[in-house]
Homo-oligomer: A and B are copies of this chain.
């Protein structure tokens, strides 16, 4: 038996707790300290090179702790290795600009993607990797365990139990990985209360609680104003419902963010009902509480929704619909990104999302020149779950299509997840969505990534849906067919114009490509009148006044 010290992490933890107690003195009461002591706390517990998880979720932000960290003295606190889901706030990148942090592993950087690319190009950030959320959480338990976690909760009680409320999101995964491996957990809270509505994180797992001077930022990322849904999107939504959901009998699914999928949600109680599909499709969801789903919920389409996070303004509506949402004894939503991503991976039959660019192999990416946008949840949900073993009609049918006529290992019967990329042939500013080469390749070279940042691989995409029709890639049998199937729905983009017309017609004869008319979808019916709500106001009405959109979405 070696004489090695096997409790180095514990010793380090105790030393830091002692340093914190020294630095804070009487300002530390149990686990609690006042906001103005937070800077001293971080200075006392952080060490150069620490791996720090700063809770930046898709929605909820530990913004006060982010500011407090950015205010540290880089001479003392430097070269931190940041691990966090989302880079959303300017402070998240300020840390790198001023030298407090130098290394980054993350999932998504939507609003900060351009600045991130500049900092990476300038050598200020060493990017470890871009992950899908569940992948990043997984690494928290293997080789990216945080030394210090800076997290965010709605409230704490005197003991330090936390209430994360509707936006629980990533907090349980972060805290569990940190607290059970000798790390320190510091939580900012909006308020300290006598009795919590419910306990989401036990006080045992939390070291310090600090009330933030202002409530944590939460972004309403999943709100789409129906007024902005176009008739092209209505047409695409009709094709999705008739050509995919009804065709495969999709009961359990996840929708990405965006107007394309919002249009589908708003067509269920109108167009979907006219096809007699209620109860036959779209019963179970892994989804944030999308306001656009309210009319379908009210019409009785939706049996259950498990959510990654919540949505601002949906609180009262959720509270009034506990049969549909996962809620706590207090009535508010219990979200959990880790479980909802697992649900999206393993318990859903279909993922449908949008992208910015798709190439001839059907690889797609949201990375464009000069922007490192990240992946979010799409790779996890937009990939065949090869560990899945339970059957459903949709999964079996997709699998049978993928395997028909094959031999050997590829012929062994197996189901396949439906992974749909829904994209108009031209995106904003008339940029073609279909390209010969993804910008991701240039970005990989620029940022010295080992692989191009592809969000969903062509190998995993089963269907491409554009205003031109649906390409069913489960039925293609070689590279050339795949390429022509892509070109065949790429419309008037250069990629579409370069199609081999004879081959595309042949693919159409075989049902690989289906036009609206092949699906029995009449484009003349594709008007905004089909939307179950045409404005935010109508969404509010559909909710019986329970949905309360943020001010920026209210124009009445």
Q: Is the CB of A252 within 8 A of B143?
A: yes
**A340 partner, pick from B105, B141, B345, B412, beta carbons under 8 A:** B141
Q: Is the CB of A379 within 8 A of B390?
A: no
**A131 partner, pick from B204, B389, B407, B412, beta carbons under 8 A:** B389
Q: With an 8 A cutoff between CB atoms, is A454 at the interface? A: yes
Question: In the complex, what residue of chain B is closest to A2 when comparing beta carbons?
Answer: B298
Q: With an 8 A cutoff between CB atoms, is A551 at the interface? A: no
**A199 partner, pick from B203, B347, B408, B482, beta carbons under 8 A:** B203
Given A361-B412, A409-B458, are A286 and B141 neighbors across the interface (CB < 8 Å)? Answer: yes
Question: In the complex, what residue of chain B is closest to A201 when comparing beta carbons?
Answer: B202
Interface set, chain A 412-461, CB cutoff 8 A to B? 412-415, 450-454, 457-460
Looking at A202, A386, A412, A478, the one whose CB has the most chain B CB atoms below 10 A away is A386
Given A176-B339, A251-B143, are A457 and B383 neighbors across the interface (CB < 8 Å)? Answer: no
Q: With the chains together, A390 CA to B415 CA distance in Å?
A: 26
Interface set, chain A 526-553, CB cutoff 8 A to B? 542-544
Q: With an 8 A cutoff between CB atoms, is A182 at the interface? A: yes
Q: Is the CB of A544 within 8 A of B135?
A: no
From residue A259, how far is it (CB to closest CB) to chain B in Å?
A: 25
Q: With an 8 A cutoff between CB atoms, is A356 at the interface? A: no
Contacts of A278 in B (CB 8 A): none
**A300 partner, pick from B2, B137, B176, B483, beta carbons under 8 A:** B2
Q: With an 8 A cutoff between CB atoms, is A154 at the interface? A: no
Q: Is the CB of A386 within 8 A of B457?
A: yes
Interface magnitude class on chain A: 35 or more
Looking at A199, A346, A362, A542, the one whose CB has the most chain B CB atoms below 10 A away is A346
Q: Is the CB of B347 within 8 A of A304?
A: no
Interface set, chain A 357-416, CB cutoff 8 A to B? 361-363, 375, 379-391, 396, 407-415
Contacts of A7 in B (CB 8 A): 322-323
Q: With the chains together, A202 CA to B460 CA distance in Å?
A: 40
From residue A16, how far is it (CB to closest CB) to chain B in Å?
A: 14
Given A129-B391, A347-B143, are A336 and B409 neighbors across the interface (CB < 8 Å)? Answer: no
Q: With the chains together, A326 CA to B329 CA distance in Å?
A: 30
Q: With the chains together, A130 CA to B390 CA distance in Å?
A: 6
Q: With an 8 A cutoff between CB atoms, is A299 at the interface? A: yes
Q: Is the CB of A361 within 8 A of B409?
A: yes
Given A252-B143, A284-B143, are A450 and B323 neighbors across the interface (CB < 8 Å)? Answer: no
Q: With an 8 A cutoff between CB atoms, is A524 at the interface? A: no
Q: Is the CB of A454 within 8 A of B323?
A: no
Q: Is the CB of A454 within 8 A of B342?
A: no
Q: Is the CB of A138 within 8 A of B450?
A: no
Question: In the complex, what residue of chain B is closest to A360 when comparing beta carbons?
Answer: B408
Given A10-B322, A141-B347, are A342 and B409 neighbors across the interface (CB < 8 Å)? Answer: no
**A379 partner, pick from B181, B324, B389, beta carbons under 8 A:** B389
Q: With an 8 A cutoff between CB atoms, is A145 at the interface? A: yes
Chain A interface (Cβ < 8 Å from any Cβ of B): 1-2, 4, 6-10, 105, 128-132, 134-135, 137-139, 141-143, 145, 161, 173, 176-177, 179-182, 198-200, 202-205, 251-252, 283-284, 286, 298-300, 304, 306, 320-324, 326-329, 334, 336, 338-340, 342-343, 345-348, 361-363, 375, 379-391, 396, 407-415, 450-454, 457-460, 478-479, 482-483, 542-544
